[in-house]
Structure 1
Amino acid sequence: MADERNRLKISDENEASPERWLLSYSDLVTTLMVLFLALYAIQLAKNRELEVKMLETTHSVKAQSASAAASPNAGDARARTELLSLLKALHDKGQININEEPDGVEIAINARILFHAGDAHLLPDSYDVLEQVAAALKDHSTHNILVEGHTDSTPIATAKYESNWELSSARAGAVVRYFVDQGIEPHRLAAIGRSDNIPLMIGDDAAARAANRRVTILVQY
């Protein structure tokens, strides 16, 4: 009888064993699921923190870029104002004309101050004007300077200058060389001959021709 009870007890334990295994397995799976959920939540938090830091960095870089972009513009505005102030005396004496352009300041010098008719050698009397202009450009401009020679519409044909193209180019080059001698960096300067293609005054009378013979200096900002 006792043996029979022992056999029944062993049989009951064998039948219950699979259920206990399933319970243990279920507990393990639940624990792993909780662990993975916790890890996932931690990773989400880290990703969110990283995104916030990246956004903050982006905003900081944009702000610095905007500040850096605004600074040169402010500096250019000051330099432009100071340049105009320095050139005012020459303008008031009628030695130069000044026009403010969207991309800079244009300084026009009548050719009679700079050259003899049909020639591209600077007159000694022009040095004072050019020296003052060069000093102002050297101290209050860091950008490119475009020097353009302009003639009137009267054709020219000499042994030295076959046309107004050569004459206007030579005159622009003479002013550029003088500026280089005064200490302005050569890489900032360019000389261009315009001949009679951009007249300041329309007409073929003496007043129009005199006004159109000039050298213009475009100071870019």
Structure 2
Amino acid sequence: MRKRNKRNQEHEEHSDESWLLPYSDLMTLLLAMFIVLFGMSSVNAEKFKAVSDAFTNALGGSIFEGGTGILDDGSFSTSGANKMPKNPEDFKASVGELKRREQENLEGLKKQLDTYIKQNGLTDDLDTKLNQSQLMITISDKALFASGEAEVRQDARKLAEAISAMLEEFPDYEVIVSGHTDNVPISNKEFPSNWDLSSARALNFMKILMQNTHLDPKKFSAIGYGEYHPVSPNDTSSGRAQNRRVEVSIIRKYIDPDQKPAVTSAHE
């Protein structure tokens, strides 16, 4: 009788752990779901497809092939935009269409700028270039500033205002204003170095752009490069003149993975 009671007591003290099995299954599925979501955050459709196929068995169906997976309703969207196509080819086509439209828009802006430059006789002082990462407007320092100064001349403010008006068509694009100098040292009370001069010129030009209340200040930044991004050798006066400049870069949104997204010089 005593042995039977002892056996029953041991059985009652042993906790029921049958809940661990469904709990572990749930954790596994949650982990799989978050890995799939992480994979979907990549713009690369092929990588997304590979992650999807890797978890097909765990989730009960392929995301792209219309199975019974947790994301089959297509509710995932990138950057708050339209729903991501389930077919990888459709996804590529959608991105291709966005890139095509962006190219057309940037080409249209370049055409507007080039027309403005020609009509105002600024072909010697301004240049535009559209490449795989940005549309860049290059402005000679003599079109904006007095020698060794950073305040935009009154007669040059019209140019900045015209550019800001054209930028209204691209409210969601990042715009970087960069200042550049030649390698002739400068050291005075106001500008101890070319870093200071180039930074002040970029900032002052950007401030005029920002007077346009239709532009979003969060999309704009100013950088001073000093003498360290020359576009021409500094051993001639004409070369130094080309290096003294302000560049306004409208950064593309849709850049191929093998393209460098950073700002580059119009001549690099």
TM-score surpassing 0.5? yes
Structure 2 residue aligned with 1:15: none
Provide structure 1 residue ranges, at least 5 long, that are not aligned to the other structure: 1-49
TM-score (norm 2): 0.58
Sequence identity, in percent? Answer: 23
Distance 1:203 1:116 in 2: 20
Aligned length: 172
Q: Note if 1:115 corresponds to 2:145.
A: yes
> Which one-letter code corresponds to 1:176 in the other structure?
M
Greater fraction helix: 1
Distance 1:53 1:145, change over 3 A: closer
Larger RCO, structures 1/2 (Cα 8 Å, 6+ apart): 1
Out of 157-166 and 56-65, give the one that drifted further: 56-65
Bigger CA radius of gyration: 1
Q: Is the Cα–Cα contact under 8 Å of residues 90 and 129 in structure 1 kept in the other structure? A: no
Distance 2:96 2:251 in 1: 17
Structure 2 residue aligned with 1:175: 205
Out of 141-150 and 151-160, give the one that drifted further: 141-150
Q: Please give the secondary structure, in 2, of the residue aligned with 1:216.
A: strand
TM-score (norm 1): 0.69
Q: Note if 1:154 corresponds to 2:184.
A: yes
Which of 56, 60, 66 is the aligned partner of 2:66?
56
> Which one-letter code corresponds to 2:103 in the other structure?
A
Q: Could you give the per-residue CA deviations for residues 81-124 of structure 1, whole angstroms, max 9, x where no partner exists?
A: 11111101234331411122210111100011111111111101
Q: Please give the secondary structure, in 2, of the residue aligned with 1:181.
A: coil
Q: Is the Cα–Cα contact under 8 Å of residues 172 and 192 in structure 1 kept in the other structure? A: yes
Which of 83, 87, 108 is the aligned partner of 1:82?
108
Provide structure 2 residue ranges, at least 5 long, that are not aligned to the other structure: 1-59, 75-84, 253-268
1:1-221 equivalence runs, <5 A: 55-56=65-66, 61-62=86-87, 65-66=91-92, 68-92=94-118, 93=121, 94=123, 95-140=125-170, 142-183=172-213, 184-221=215-252
Over aligned residue pairs, what C-alpha RMSD do you find?
2.4
> Which one-letter code corresponds to 1:133 in the other structure?
I
Q: Is the Cα–Cα contact under 8 Å of residues 146 and 190 in structure 1 kept in the other structure? A: yes
Q: Is the Cα–Cα contact under 8 Å of residues 153 and 204 in structure 1 kept in the other structure? A: no
Q: Could you give the per-residue CA deviations for residues 166-189 of structure 1, whole angstroms, max 9, x where no partner exists?
A: 000000101111111123211111
Q: Is the Cα–Cα contact under 8 Å of residues 65 and 86 in structure 2 kept in the other structure? A: no
